[in-house]
Structure 1
């Protein structure tokens, strides 16, 4: 009989305990650092103290998160060309690097090159791996392991039970990382280089959001210094979604990534108004950028008078034709309006200095700066190239029909011009009832005047819902960097939803991006995704349906009910299962359902609020369901979800989103008839 010390699971638990101890020691070493005499001034001291604080946070040992989830045993590789990690070495793969007091690794970061075979190796291509071991956990306690002898020709390839269990594990709380379950096709995207932009088309449950977040984590590992200088940003569709994903990167030890919505990026004015669909589509059209450009540069006028600069007893004259040449040269350079305006006084001053030198004087740079600040030069610049406030420019375009017509001629037709004009023109920027689309126009105008700061990498999730002008706003934030674009054309629910990724990437300014498609479904059960896919021919013809790789088909039922009491009972039944439950309904039906749940004594949360073991039900308006997921979903009245949108196609796309939020089970309840596009014999 084997003793506990000979038991493989006991040995692995011992290594886990030793690794946790080593991680604590690493954290204590950082906490014990004395920086009182290290820095030269208080600014550097503050910066260093902040870096140390972030490092301490990154070394936190999360009690319910496994420190490592896999092990690789490399073969002895004879010959000169050996795989990294050869000579029979063993590596434990985890969320972060852990070393002992001698500096020897006890856990290898999943992003390290030596960890790659954990995700890519197969019986067909073992990548010099003798054994791949996966670990099973309950909370933070190691409870099981599973081995694959990849280099053993006698052992047949098989599906990992632990991998399936991890994918299907019930969800309570925010989104988890998928670092233990990344698949080969996902890993290729995650590890793609920083210099290129990647666009991921992925249906429900294919893990596109997780892939995007893990790519950020990988890039921060591989290019930390560069991205520390330039910054990274994750853009989501709404605050609820960002709250849902906000713990993924910190769990991987990455604390510096900023998160925002597109509305946050363009928050130049307070949003108080709304646009109807027709108006929003026109304002979101990329042609509006041309209208704005014309309107902005209409402020530049050709000089008709010379500039006379008085210096001491001398007067220096720059003729009107010379000034015109300077202005035309700046216009031809196609630099930003504000940059050209800043350059103009220097160009005029240079023309004066040329005259001074010809007359025998020897002016220096200080002399040129003094001339550029001369009142006559300032007056000329103000008249020829006046300062323009971007919000006031947009205000005039939307309020003044003649001004709009002048600059939209040949770009927008009369009906489109009428659509964007305000019915009640505002008197000032403060009094205007700006819409979300107006804020994007102001952002475009702001960039035409002054360059927007560019980041090193931007992740754009749920991208299919952006307008062309919103794509431009995001693209401005990564003109000198790269992007990861994530979305599903079938889930586009805005009137301006993306028709093709090539078109979207052109607006983003990333026409050379690589487009990848994920079609393997890890989250949505087979019966659920099969039912939802009945809508694809009507909402995204030609798009490849998701194929679920889940062994568990999941619970699925289409249930005819007599009223809301039956819907409440369906929620109560779902809550008997482990994990979270989402009740998704047309926005207009949410108040009635909320009242019914309260009367039944069933506590519930709103989207974005974190579920707990005590409160596991979330009441979700269909308009906010995108990007969220629940173990069980009760979908109320599909036809009402469709009818809640301005047109049938958008409504069916909204329904497709709602149908695909379930991880383990879906109950569709309806008292009214089902949409005919779903009509077929129910699976249950």
Structure 2
């Protein structure tokens, strides 16, 4: 294709059609594979069949998802003057020649990083515009032409501002240079991303997983990957991003899901109790409690084999026990080592007596009844749930192992007033489950994954960070969050502290400050709260103008003396939703949790159908009623925010309430309507 091509759009459409045909042929080739030709082992056949099914799914051609979104034309001296189409996955023709290059491939990197100042041997960068699945426009940047000024891509801007309906989508066509640096950082190091609303930190984290799976697929296939989100609604919102990029094997979970295998969570804690249980000091309390089960021996062990009796004196057993304790091994691993150490002491005596025992004899001695009885007395088994049950119900046991760590008031705060009689009868809270998980790791090491993405991390307690850190102790992590959006009583104060609890104190901390989602007027209005909720944190610099995107409407309190009463605030909120629905895109009505039932009745009375968070997959219903406690991480084209003062008052303290309000104010992509009857929080007043 030459630069003077009379119909370049037609030729690009032809390449798209040919690429779709090639992708279909790749899929058909996989579907035609007969596993009987390559394996006679049924186990291998099952594994291979699953791999083939996954490959077929990964090669699916999504009709409304562009197969490629960009093109790079290199200078003649570079890449032999080649031209590459950049897309979501690799596509090749019948000869194996690439028709579309995976966005994660090294040759694709200049699509995101090249500029007029640093063209990276790229002569031309072309972006494509789509309507549905149809290629409808293109836009060129001549990076080496000094006569052409650097400008903002209109297609790029249009893609960023495209209406959000349904679950979160990928940003692969719009990744910015500072985001790309994080996405392509190596597997070996942990990265922490501090990003304000609209900076794309969640999308960056998900695309980083996709990149790492591309660059280190074999390793991560063995060790596994995991995405951790704050709640199920959030996970449902993001669940389609990785499959759209061809990655189907990444597990998604909440922290509660990770620890749920230990005990069933059926109860809740008061905030004060949850804060103490989530404190990092509880890790040492648990360590002391676990190790307290070890008792120094006072009696010898006598092993009878045939006509001989072999005696290991108490002082030697004590030396063995002290040595194992000094090594700070997992409790269960040390317990498994103890019978072998005792057996070794017996074998030393056998050899001194002229015998020649081998490993089979040592194993037999380790299984001897006398040795097993000694191990049970010295190093008894510990059940993690029973241990936590005792700590939280036995005041003396808790006091003994929290001496110098917890105050008397803190002990009283976490002690159960009505202790349960058994592990099964306990109504465990989420914080209790994390304590059980910690205790379980003290007994037996938790399996580590290759890479973990932790989103909305600012809301985790130190003990929750430890629970996540155990799952990537030998791997790496991508930590995503915004200190200004911490809305739990134990919210993170600094990333250095959080990363220390995670076990990744040497992680690099990157800050994203360019906003691509929230309009400038909206983020500026919300940022009035920053000095009160996160002093010193950089304000997001939005690239989106959107004049008129912010509307703050005060609804007068009804005057009972008027013949025609003024409309109440519920009617005003419904009217704002109706007006927003006249525009294209998704609508989120965000309100304090206590106001949701009343607003739900008002919407129903007005014959407006609505969804709950996480259900945003209906093409017919674009309005979602969102409790403020579930708004974090979600986004809507237009947001109607009901009663900011009620959002603040719904939290246990003002600072947490203002942070919750900051979250609610920054969920809008195109426009925000604030409706209130009560006075606005004073912190929202315009700066002098």
Cα 1:553–1:487 change in 2 (3 A) is: farther
Partner secondary structure for residue 81 of structure 2: coil
Give the deviation of 1:610 after TM superposition.
2.2
Q: Distance in 2 between matches of 1:330 and 1:632?
A: 62
CA contact (8 A) 2:303 2:370 kept: yes
CA contact (8 A) 1:528 1:554 kept: no
Alignment partner of 2:471 out of 456, 459, 477: 477
CA contact (8 A) 1:605 1:611 kept: no
Q: Distance in 2 between matches of 1:298 and 1:512?
A: 33
Give the deviation of 1:357 after TM superposition.
1.0
Q: Distance in 1 between matches of 2:115 and 2:38?
A: 50
Matched, 1:449 2:443: yes
Alignment partner of 1:629 out of 625, 635, 659: 635
Give the deviation of 1:613 after TM superposition.
2.6
5 Å matches for 1:44-193?
44-77=44-77, 83=78, 86-193=79-186
5 Å matches for 1:631-650?
631-650=637-656
Specify the alignment match of 1:416 in structure 2. 410
CA contact (8 A) 2:590 2:664 kept: yes
Q: Distance in 1 between matches of 2:548 and 2:512?
A: 21
Q: Distance in 2 between matches of 1:373 and 1:25?
A: 61
Specify the alignment match of 1:619 in structure 2. 625
Matched, 1:347 2:341: yes
Specify the alignment match of 1:399 in structure 2. 393
Deviations 1:238-294 (A, max 9, x none): 000000000000000000100000000011111111111111110000000000000
5 Å matches for 1:241-280?
241-267=234-260, 268-280=262-274
Matched, 1:226 2:219: yes
Q: Distance in 2 between matches of 1:361 and 1:158?
A: 87
Deviations 1:175-200 (A, max 9, x none): 00000000000000000000000000
Q: Distance in 2 between matches of 1:681 and 1:427?
A: 58
Matched, 1:385 2:391: no
Alignment partner of 1:490 out of 479, 484, 492: 484
TM-score computed with the length of structure 1 as normaliser: 0.97
Specify the alignment match of 1:334 in structure 2. 328
Specify the alignment match of 2:582 in structure 1. 576
Mind listing any 5+ residue stretches in structure 1 that lack a counterpart?
Answer: 78-82
Specify the alignment match of 1:80 in structure 2. none
Alignment partner of 1:317 out of 306, 311, 318: 311
Alignment partner of 2:200 out of 207, 225, 231: 207
CA contact (8 A) 1:554 1:664 kept: no
Superposed CA RMSD in Å reads 1.2
Q: Distance in 2 between matches of 1:551 and 1:621?
A: 28
Specify the alignment match of 1:607 in structure 2. 613
* Paired positions, count: 673
Mind listing any 5+ residue stretches in structure 2 that lack a counterpart?
Answer: 556-567
Matched, 1:522 2:516: yes
CA contact (8 A) 1:580 1:611 kept: no
Q: Distance in 2 between matches of 1:241 and 1:445?
A: 29
Specify the alignment match of 2:565 in structure 1. none
CA contact (8 A) 1:629 1:661 kept: yes
Deviations 1:19-59 (A, max 9, x none): 00000000000000011131241111000000000000000
Give the deviation of 1:551 after TM superposition.
3.9
Q: Distance in 1 between matches of 2:288 and 2:419?
A: 21
Partner secondary structure for residue 606 of structure 1: coil
Q: Distance in 2 between matches of 1:559 and 1:420?
A: 45
Q: Distance in 2 between matches of 1:106 and 1:333?
A: 58
Partner secondary structure for residue 175 of structure 1: coil
Cα 1:164–1:271 change in 2 (3 A) is: same
Give the deviation of 1:5 after TM superposition.
8.2
TM-score computed with the length of structure 2 as normaliser: 0.97
Cα 1:640–1:313 change in 2 (3 A) is: same
Judge which range, 625-634 or 351-360, deviates more. Answer: 351-360
Q: Distance in 1 between matches of 2:267 and 2:52?
A: 45
Partner secondary structure for residue 182 of structure 1: coil
CA contact (8 A) 2:528 2:686 kept: no
CA contact (8 A) 1:611 1:617 kept: no
Deviations 1:607-632 (A, max 9, x none): 11124331000000000000000000
Deviations 1:540-581 (A, max 9, x none): 000000010114346210011232011011001101111100
Matched, 1:511 2:517: no
CA contact (8 A) 1:302 1:384 kept: yes
CA contact (8 A) 1:164 1:551 kept: no
Deviations 1:127-171 (A, max 9, x none): 000000000001110000000000001100000000000000001
